[in-house]
Amino acid sequence: MINATPGGPSPVPVIPDVYAVVWVHTEDPFPGSTGSWNLGPWAESWSPRQHADAVQRVRDAIGRGDVYQVNVVGHASAPYTGDPTAALRRVATLPGARYGGILAAPDGRWAIATASPETLVEVRHGRVLTRPIKGTRPATAQGRRELLASAKERAEHIMIVDLERNDLARLPGTGPVRVDKLFAVRRWCGLWQAESVVSAPLSGEVGLADLLRAVCPGGSVTGAPKIAALEQIAALEPVGRGVSMGALGWIGHDHLDLGLSIRTVAVDGSRVHAWAGGGITADSDPEAEVAEAAAKAGPLRAALAGGLTAFA
């Protein structure tokens, strides 16, 4: 957690910034629902034109040398009636999710469902690691070839890997940082995405607060340099990110595993909220970036509406 210009207010203020529960094992971690669920039309917080204009403004900032890369995120919400539990379960069980789960307030005022494929930070067996994801194509044979061959996607990815290496290197109590895996292709629903693994040995005592200060907010959802990217985000995005682009996971007595809360939806009793975006570089095409964000949001919206098999 670093000092930077704050973004817009959360569209889901009922959800607290920090929330912890004692994990209780159940036979089914995603309880079902027999109640009805009706989802209304989605309302975007900005139009495709406004989104494309924001992408161009980032490109202009890159041209001036203000930043190298900025992750631009859009938000949308839809009214609903009924019990959202089954819909949230469909989101949490989307294929390709490394962190699939539901977190809900005991009083039912809010709930979060995530299908995140990305590790923000993991500590296990004496090492700390992160798995940044950057680079997206449709999950087809041609899409895989395009992703592997794209100089733009690889350059964007490597910038974030370097940022994550720096984040871990600043963490007190760690040894030499290394890249264990670079630009590996994984599938999330109907998309290929490029993932790397960056890690370092723990050579001393590392507290939870120090760890979170070093890695939050995640480099793949901010940009480089991180503080300058956050200033751009605060100026461009009309709605705050809320629970999206944060962290959700587990803290145990001998390990920690937090997923970056991308591919996440939230409900607040009357509306369901979702976020999606992508990293912008000098070579980004504004219309293509708008389309990429829509492709990432598509499986979430389909799962909420009841359609899952098309993305399996």
Cα 87 from Cα 278, distance rounded (Å): 25
> Can 118 be counted among the known catalytic residues?
yes
DSSP 252: -
> Can 296 be counted among the known catalytic residues?
no
Give the CA dihedral 116, 190, 297, 228, nearest 10 degrees.
Answer: 60
Contact 74, 275 (CB under 8 A): yes
In order of 65, 193, 291, the CA distances from 116 in angstroms are: 32, 12, 20
Cis peptide before 6 (omega within 30 of 0): no
Q: Which of 27, 44, 118, 181 is catalytic?
A: 118
Q: Which of 122, 134, 156, 164 is catalytic?
A: 134
Cα 292 from Cα 191, distance rounded (Å): 10
Cα 140 from Cα 292, distance rounded (Å): 15
The angle, 0 to 180 degrees and rounded to 10, between the axes of the packed helices 208-215 and 151-169 is 150
* Catalytic residue set: 118, 134
